[in-house]
Amino acid sequence: MSSALPPLTPPPEPVDMPLLAFGSADDEPCLRADAARNRARLLEAAACLVREQGAANLTMEAVAAAASVGKGTVFRRFGDRTGLLTALLDHSEKKFQAAFMSGPPPLGPGAGPVERLGAFGVALLRRTGDELELQLAAEPHPERRFSAAPRRVLHGHVVLLLRQAVPAADCELLAQTLMGYLSPVLVHHLTRQCGMPLERLEAGWLDLVARVTRTDFCC
Amino acid sequence: MSSALPPLTPPPEPVDMPLLAFGSADDEPCLRADAARNRARLLEAAACLVREQGAANLTMEAVAAAASVGKGTVFRRFGDRTGLLTALLDHSEKKFQAAFMSGPPPLGPGAGPVERLGAFGVALLRRTGDELELQLAAEPHPERRFSAAPRRVLHGHVVLLLRQAVPAADCELLAQTLMGYLSPVLVHHLTRQCGMPLERLEAGWLDLVARVTRTDFCC
């Protein structure tokens, strides 16, 4: 994870800011920064609750309580529960992108492409395991399943690493194969419907990366 | 394809049987066989039309004209257009299953497991290319995407061949990966949305099988 991003656990100091006051203060840099921090803190609290209790059980009230703010603050910030869930996925997506684009290795730059591919899949599987219901609910219609923006960013990253690892291969197609393994619907099927532990999927990912890149990588 | 199954092109002899008369004649083996042949002939005509014009353009009238029977015959046999499309997919599924289970090699038994895997994917990609709209329309809800009966049969076949080819691997997970490459939604994305020729997907499949089984197979 990038060190510039807020940690997954909420910061210890309580920061119950009057978020309503920031609603029309977009031209005030200082207030904008505070509002952004508050928003991130609410989202981190919501992410914790989703990991612990599942997205189906997430309520605006629980987020408010977990972040030690009033319920009205959460409603003013996200509109409704759907707005909160959408913001939560977007927040998680941005954190994950920052981690593989500019965070520490092996997920971020600094490790070899095969090792980075391994770390990418393991990190994405864990994230999907945490947010399964959320990601399933947000699954795009088949027509847009492969062209939706977040999917394209992840796919592009896998193509980039594959081009470094196996430049002679059809990396576009191999990337589709690897991304298919990481699909939330498949993770749901294997872990919830077939009862496989996530660790088996992680080991399977590392084995798949090794086979696809014709390496002996194993960690 | 199994030689016991009707060929894809309709038989040359016109067989415009009064299908209505067979509706309650299930205890008459001879009539049942005739009815089954007629049903298969209508489905082959419909499959031809789908390949040539796409499923969206398939009408009961066109099937009747192509099979040289009255329109009423097609309606009595399949109820409505949805019934026809459902029967068409089921028919195509059964033919494909017969081909890889008991047809000639390399798709059927008699070739090595890696060669059979190669032939399986190429044949399935071609079938999907022919029936794309049909398969997309029939795509199960995410909850059932991996557990629907036809998908399970195909998946089971891939697991079987992988166990012969790479017995030490986690063949269940590798089979999910290979089946993901053959998903109708991905084929649609790559061929229709990205403009890739099906031949590139076929070559990509053979390369993927070689990588996954750590062989040099190429045909």
Question: Which three-class secondary structure string do you get for chain A?
Answer: CCCCCCCCCCCCCCCCCCHHHHCCCCCCHHHHHHHHHHHHHHHHHHHHHHHHHCHHHCCHHHHHHHCCCCHHHHHHHHCCHHHHHHHHHHHHHHHHHHHHHHCCCCCCECECHHHHHHHHHHHHHHHHHHCHHHHHHCCCCHHHCCCCHHHHHHHHHHHHHHHHHCCCCCHHHHHHHHHHHCCHHHHHHHHHHCCCCHHHHHHHHHHHHHHHCCCCCCC
Whether B175 has its CB under 8 Å from any CB of chain A: the answer is no
- For chain A, residues classed under CATH 1.10.10.60 are 19-80
Which superfamily, per CATH, for A19-80? Homeodomain-like (1.10.10.60)
Pick from A148, A119, A117, A22: nearest CA to A77: A22
Q: Could you confirm whether domain B19-83 is CATH 1.10.357.10?
A: yes
Query: How much is the average pLDDT of A2-18?
Result: 34
Q: Which of A145, A177, A207 sits opposite B170 (nearest CB)?
A: A207
- For chain B, residues classed under CATH 1.10.357.10 are 19-83
Query: How much is the average pLDDT of B177-191?
Result: 95
Pick from B37, B35, B30: nearest CA to B19: B35
Chain B residues in contact with A189 by the CB 8 A cut-off are 145-147
| Cα distance between residue A36 and residue B62, in whole Å | 61
Provide ipTM, 2 decimals.
0.79
Determine the pLDDT at residue B148: 83
Instruction: Report cis status (omega within 30 of 0) of the bond before B11.
Output: no
| Cα distance between residue B200 and residue B204, in whole Å | 6
Determine the pLDDT at residue A3: 34
Chain A residues in contact with B176 by the CB 8 A cut-off are 181, 186, 190
Task: Give pLDDT tens digits for A182-207.
Answer: 999 999 999 999 999 999 999 999 99
Mean of the per-residue pLDDT values of chain B: 84
**B92 — phi, psi (to 5°)?**
-65, -40
| Cα distance between residue A102 and residue A108, in whole Å | 5
| Cα distance between residue B44 and residue A155, in whole Å | 39
How distant is the Cα of A3 from the closest Cα of chain B, in angstroms?
34
| Cα distance between residue A123 and residue A114, in whole Å | 14
| Cα distance between residue A121 and residue B209, in whole Å | 20
Chain A residues in contact with B201 by the CB 8 A cut-off are 173
Query: How much is the average pLDDT of A159-171?
Result: 97
Whether A175 has its CB under 8 Å from any CB of chain B: the answer is no
Is a pLDDT exceeding 70 seen at residue A11? no
- Rounded alpha-carbon distances, angstroms, from residue A124 to A142, A208, B56, B101: 21, 15, 37, 37
Determine the pLDDT at residue A23: 32
Residues forming a β-bridge with A109: A111
Dihedral of alpha carbons B64, B70, B72, B74, sign:
negative
Query: How much is the average pLDDT of A17-46?
Result: 64
Determine the pLDDT at residue B31: 57
Q: A135 to chain B: nearest residue by CA?
A: B142
Q: A176 to chain B: nearest residue by CA?
A: B181
Q: Which of A176, A189, A211 sits opposite B214 (nearest CB)?
A: A211
Task: Give pLDDT tens digits for A96-124.
Answer: 999 999 999 999 999 999 999 999 999 99
Residues above pLDDT 70, as percent of chain A: 84
> Side chain identity at A32, as an amino acid letter?
R
